[in-house]
Amino acid sequence: MSDEASPEHNRVEPAHERSSATSAVAVPLVALGLLAAAVWLGTKPAALQQAQPVVTTGQRTGPVDPLPSWNDGPTKQAILDFVAAVTTESAPTFVPRAERIAVFDHDGTLVCEKPLMHGMFLVDRVKALVDRRPELAHEEPFATLLTGDLEFVRRLGKKFFTDLTFSTLAGVPEEKLEAEARDFLRTARHPAFDVPLGDVAYQPMKELVALLEAKGFAVWICSGSGVHFMRPAAELWYGIGPERVIASRPLTELREVEEPSPDNEKTPNRRLDLVVLPQLHVLNDEERKPVSIGEHIGRRPILAVGNVGTTGDIEMLRWSQAGDRPSLQLLVLHDDDAREMAYGEPGNESLDAAATYGWQVVRMANDWKQVFAKPLAKRAAAVPPAPAAIAPQVVAPIAPAAASGSAEPSPAPPVEPAAEGPPPTKWEQELAVYEQADRDTPPEAGGIVLLGSSNIRMWTTLADDFPGMNVINRGVGGCRLVELAEFAPRLVAAPKPRVIVVAAGTNDVAAGMSTDEIRVAFERLVEALRGDHPEATIAFLAISPTVKRWDQLERQVAANAAIKTVIDSRGDAKIVYLDANAAFLGPDGKPAAECFLDDMQHPSTIGNSRRAEILRPLLRDLVSKP
């Protein structure tokens, strides 16, 4: 790889082009177990004092800038100094070529990880399978994956995927899976930037890989994503061959998959393939990464690069630093929402480790002159213009004329009929599941219960988004305020919460209920909860705008205003109104596409993490009040 490659080309030609035969679509469901660990979290990065680089000796040796996409500054200089220090034979810090090992995490380190591309590939394969077998659309995990919700997979468990894979698609050859991944990589587009996936590889990191290879480093990728996706991606985007890819992988075995050809007597050999078995063999994350590096490379890397996001790279960077040779550890911080994304970790573990061990933090906003090979703009959400009476920049309650009898807003444009919610029998089943779980493992009392519909039920990262806060999910898909008033007491009976958050009303508006009907339903819900939990604080979380239902914004705002009026008129400090709608809006005041799943209705992990960032201090305050 040459460091003079044109930045306009995101594909780096690998040393050996590999053939890509068109094959039948197959879904590597064992890889769903790998996906379950590839959690994408996100909160606003915490401030961190710039760490001093571990190696600070050496000078630039030539007029050509090998890192043109990096801004001049301490981070770029630390990299150049380190490379010079370990490659200058006369220097006491010289490292022989055989020991110049560099390892890079992939998602969030070399390429934009929101959404997780391996997860996109799996959803694509599931959709292809369901096209052939429509009955699977109503079974898990297919039903959930078809919504685009990748995080929900984690709750279903590894054994579920093992059994499912064994009964459906075990025995798929590795080469077929990788061929399908290549086809996907050539055609898929990034949902936030609307460009080919390879275009969101980080240009500064591609330049760093080129510099290292030119200086005699062996560059490896060490990723938590599935190996059958990572091998084609690494070769296509960075020119790194499959022999230098370490990733999560299932068990495989050698099988004879074809009969010998009767037309070729000289080669009676059957075709042998390595086929995937329904057992996850290696989950390449956290402390497993150093083990995998040792098994594959047999040497400790002197350069290790990871990113802030899931704490999965800490052990890899620590192990790299603990060797006898000079070393450098880089940690990418996503703090540039304008050009890419801005997020961190709920517990701030990676940045804390960087401060403790002196790793070099790569601040995307300050250290990178450009993020991608060419400037990219986030895709604007495909929404109609805002209703005339509502300012799109602000989603806030409007003041009604009076607490009662307030005028209805002007009729909304015709909307598609709301999907019917689950029948009462299904709600009864969901309630029974919650009640049985509470009997099996009684929840800790005095915490926070979130009531709502699928926007709460599908919020599967609550524990990570609200660390140490005893937050309990009691979402029931499809329900409205009017139904919550009937069965909410059963949902909160066992948890005995100190705070009850009500996040409902979206389905009421979509079903065509009037503002007064929604107000009455909320009042009934409050009375139902007050009966058994008079000391609990009830917090109504404002109905939030979405891409799909943007045309219902005016009616949503009116419903929020009516409920806020009810709360204000009571003068009760234990009934409060919360608004976290800013979490879902882009700079133009409209719903941001990356904050929603593919259905453009339910919050994505990014949207939920931003919502949690607003709610965390508010809920802590409510829990702490007597």
CB 149 within 8 A of CB 256: no
Distance CA 66, CA 332 (A): 19
d(CA 116, CA 153): 13
- Point out the least confidently predicted range of 122-131, 313-322, 417-426: 417-426
Residue carrying the six token digits 């990676």: 350
Residues of the chain with CATH 3.40.50.1110: 424-624
> Is a pLDDT exceeding 50 seen at residue 268?
yes
Spatial neighbors of 496 by CB under 8 A, at least 6 apart, are: 445, 446, 533
pLDDT at 261: 61
Query: DSSP class of residue 66?
Result: S
**Mean pLDDT across the chain:** 80
Per-residue model confidence (pLDDT) at position 391: 29
- Is the pLDDT at 408 greater than 50? The verdict is no
Compare 281 and 4 and report the one with higher pLDDT. 281
* Percent share of the chain, pLDDT over 90: 52
Q: Using 50, 70 and 90 to split pLDDT, how confident is the model at 594?
A: confident
Place of tokens 């042998």: 272
Q: Are 151 and 129 in contact (CB under 8 A)?
A: no
**Contact yes or no for 41/605 (Cβ under 8 A):** yes
Phi, psi of 109, rounded to the nearest 5 degrees: -110, -45
Judge contact between 283 and 37, C-beta under 8 A: yes
Q: CA geometry: angle at 303 spanning 300 and 307, to 5°?
A: 115
Alpha-carbon separation of residue 311 from 37, 154, 316, 361 (angstroms)? 12, 17, 10, 14
The least confident of 86-90, 231-235, 273-277, 321-325 is 273-277
Q: How confident is the model at residue 383 (pLDDT cuts 50, 70, 90)?
A: very low
Q: How far apart are CA 436 and CA 430, in angstroms?
A: 10
Q: State the pairing for strand pair 448-452/360-363.
A: unpaired
Lowest mean pLDDT among 123-137, 246-260, 318-332: 123-137
Angle of the 203-214 helix axis to the 74-87 helix axis, nearest 10: 20
**Could you tell me which CATH class the domain 424-624 is placed in?**
alpha beta
- Which of 60-69, 170-179, 331-340, 465-474 has the weakest average pLDDT? 60-69
pLDDT(60) > 60: no
Which of 75-89, 154-168, 576-590 is predicted most confidently?
Answer: 75-89
Instruction: Determine the average pLDDT of the residues in 399-403.
Output: 29
- Burial of residue 399 (number of CB atoms within 10 Å: 0-12, 13-18, 19+): exposed
Average pLDDT over residues 379-407: 33
Instruction: Evaluate the omega torsion of the peptide bond into residue 141 and state whether it is cis, within 30 degrees of 0.
Output: yes
pLDDT attached to residue 238: 98
| DSSP bridge pairs for 218 | 101
Mean pLDDT value of segment 488-508: 93
pTM of the predicted model as reported, rounded to 2 decimal places? 0.57
- Please determine, for residue 204, whether its predicted confidence score (pLDDT) is greater than 70: yes
The whole-angstrom separation of Cα 162 and Cα 202 is 35
Q: Name the token pair of 307.
A: 């990113």
Residue length, the chain?
A: 626
Q: Boundaries of CATH 3.40.50.1000 in the chain?
A: 30-52+87-258+269-367
Least confident interval from 11-25, 132-146, 225-239: 11-25
pLDDT beyond 90 at 136: no
First to last CA, the chain: 64
39/572: higher pLDDT: 572
- Give Cα separations from 113 to 40, 180, 359 (angstroms): 8, 20, 22
CB contact at 8 A, 544 and 510:
no
Longest dimension (CA), the chain: 92
Q: Which CATH topology does 30-52+87-258+269-367 take?
A: Rossmann fold (3.40.50)
What token pair was written down for 362? 């790569």
Average pLDDT over residues 69-83: 98
Confidence of residue 124 (pLDDT cuts 50, 70, 90): confident
**H-state helical runs in 338-453:** 349-357, 364-367, 424-440
Q: Which range, of 96-100, 117-121, 363-367, averages the lowest pLDDT?
A: 117-121
The rounded distance, in Å, linking the Cα atoms of 414 and 512 is: 10
H-helix or E-strand containing 406? none
Task: With CA atoms as reference, report the closest residue to 228 among 108, 118, 110, 107.
Answer: 118
Chain centre distance of CA 218: 30
Cα–Cα distance measured from residue 43 to residue 345, given in angstroms and rounded to the nearest whole number = 6
Q: Per-residue pLDDT for 427 more than 80?
A: no
What DSSP designation does 549 have? T
Q: Which residue has the higher pLDDT, 109 or 137?
A: 109
CA distances from 522 to 12, 26, 545, 580 (A): 58, 48, 19, 19
pLDDT value of residue 574: 93
DSSP secondary structure code for residue 342 in this structure: B
Of 74-78, 265-269, 376-380, 543-547, the one with minimum mean pLDDT is 265-269
Q: In this predicted structure, which of 272-286, 392-406, 582-596 has the lowest mean pLDDT?
A: 392-406
